[in-house]
Structure 1
Amino acid sequence: MIRDRPIKQLKWFFTHIVEKAVLRRFAKISFLDNPVIDPEQACLVLMNHYSFNDGAILHRLNRLILRKQFRVMVVEDQLKAFIPLRYVGCFSVKKASREVIESLNYAAELLKAPGNMLGIYPQGEVYSQHLERIHFENGLSVILKRTSNIPFQVIFGVTLLDYLDSFKPHARVYLQQYTGERDLAKMESAYNEFYTTCKAKQRNLHNPPGRVLTEKQ
């Protein structure tokens, strides 16, 4: 396991140089329906994973809205490819290895501190944002069991892109606080219900004619 080792100077560099450099590829980034954040509880943020831009978007979400200590679980091969991320707050997880339990236990410990935000991409890998459903890998269930008696907020995030009348994409990050039971299957079901609602809102941008919208909406 590669642990995070935040360094103040590099955190400044990531915020003012790297984050801006990555997100300048977007025409705009909007955070929608921002939840009220409890300063007395840590935040677990679950988001779809559609590209390597996700980390910078999550960093901006935390910096502007959540305002917690930035901690993110990253697949080990991805973290090794850009090792400076560990100095911003990223730590690794390696599936199908002995180290995976160490990573999951460490993630659970982070949720005990009210000042932390723990970002997890429950799909585990990068997938197309055009999928009809988002699956949750089983590792999240271990974290939920380890924190069954710990109060923390769960925030769902769904990032969707459209270009419409711009040369650059507009990223809309839909947010929702989850207050249901901390059960993997129930959380996956609730996330996908939210995901479906977000995609319906996205399809309705610029008021398309009704005949091109599916009956599911």
Structure 2
Amino acid sequence: MCNHFSFLDGFLAFHLCNRVMWGPNSMKRLYIMSLKKQMQKNKWLRYCGSFSIDPGKRSIRESFEYAAEILREPGNLLLFYPQGQLESNHIRRIQFEDGLNEIMALTHGKCQLIWSSNIFEYFESSKPSVYFDMLDCGTGEDFVFESVKQKINAHHKNALDKHVRFTREKEVA
């Protein structure tokens, strides 16, 4: 899972997986859950392991079941954007849709949950720096949706604090 801030997120995730998770006795195949409207606009996505999800439609259940089937197979990796829409990579709080909870309820296995806060920053350079801050969120066996959301949001905020220069803001109650 990672924050969803650009069309390039899939390429960034592939790069990260290739560097960190690819190799003997590890990841076999990468799948990407993409919005149906993106799949219709970019037909080539289906050749890269993408499958569609259409929020608000009955077919969403089939997409969740397929995602769970992927995760039950050791060595498969599913790229999933839990906020379900594009947002700035500088947002302070990731707003989760219920998809992750639905998928994990169907998985029934030991799949590993990993989050990556992917942050672009230019500072004084004309080329951006990309920071990948990964977090082990446990397995499907010990999955508690609210707890995972809290861990990810705390991690994402720390990643932003570490990699982005902000004028310090006063905390609002």
User: TM exceeds 0.5?
Assistant: yes
Is 2:172 the partner of 1:201? no
Q: How big is the alpha-carbon RMSD for the aligned residues of Structure 1 and Structure 2?
A: 1.6
Q: Tell me: higher relative CO, structure 1 or 2? Use CA pairs within 8 A at least 6 residues apart.
A: 1
The aligned counterpart of 1:98 is 58
Q: State the alpha-carbon separation in 1 of the partners of residues 11 and 164 from structure 2.
A: 25
Contact 2:90 2:119 in 1 (8 A): no
Secondary structure class of the residue paired with 1:111: helix
Q: State the alpha-carbon separation in 1 of the partners of residues 169 and 120 from structure 2.
A: 19
Per the TM alignment, residue 79 of structure 1 is displaced from its structure 2 partner at its CA by 1.3
Is 2:159 the partner of 1:159? no
**Mapping of 1:87-126 within 5 angstroms?**
87-126=47-86
- Which runs of 5 or more residues in structure 2 are unaligned? none
Q: Tell which structure's C-alpha radius of gyration is larger.
A: 1
Q: State the alpha-carbon separation in 1 of the partners of residues 55 and 163 from structure 2.
A: 33
The aligned counterpart of 2:14 is 59
Aligned residue pair count: 164
Q: State the alpha-carbon separation in 2 of the partners of residues 203 and 213 from structure 1.
A: 11
The C-alpha deviation readout for 1:100-159, integer Å capped at 9, x for no partner, is 000000000001111100110001010112222101111211111112x30011111001
Task: State the one-letter code of the partner of 1:166.
Answer: S
TM-score, length-scaled by structure 2: 0.88
After the TM superposition, which parts of structure 1 deviate over 6 Å for at least 4 consecutive aligned residues? Answer: none
Task: State the one-letter code of the partner of 1:52.
Answer: F
- Which runs of 5 or more residues in structure 1 are unaligned? 1-45
Q: State the alpha-carbon separation in 2 of the partners of residues 128 and 72 from structure 1.
A: 20
Is 2:147 the partner of 1:192? no
TM-score, length-scaled by structure 1: 0.71
The C-alpha deviation readout for 1:147-176, integer Å capped at 9, x for no partner, is 2x3001111100111112311111111111
User: What percent of counterpart residues are identical?
Assistant: 30
Secondary structure class of the residue paired with 1:109: helix
Q: State the alpha-carbon separation in 2 of the partners of residues 200 and 128 from structure 1.
A: 15
Per the TM alignment, residue 215 of structure 1 is displaced from its structure 2 partner at its CA by 5.8
Q: State the alpha-carbon separation in 1 of the partners of residues 164 and 122 from structure 2.
A: 12
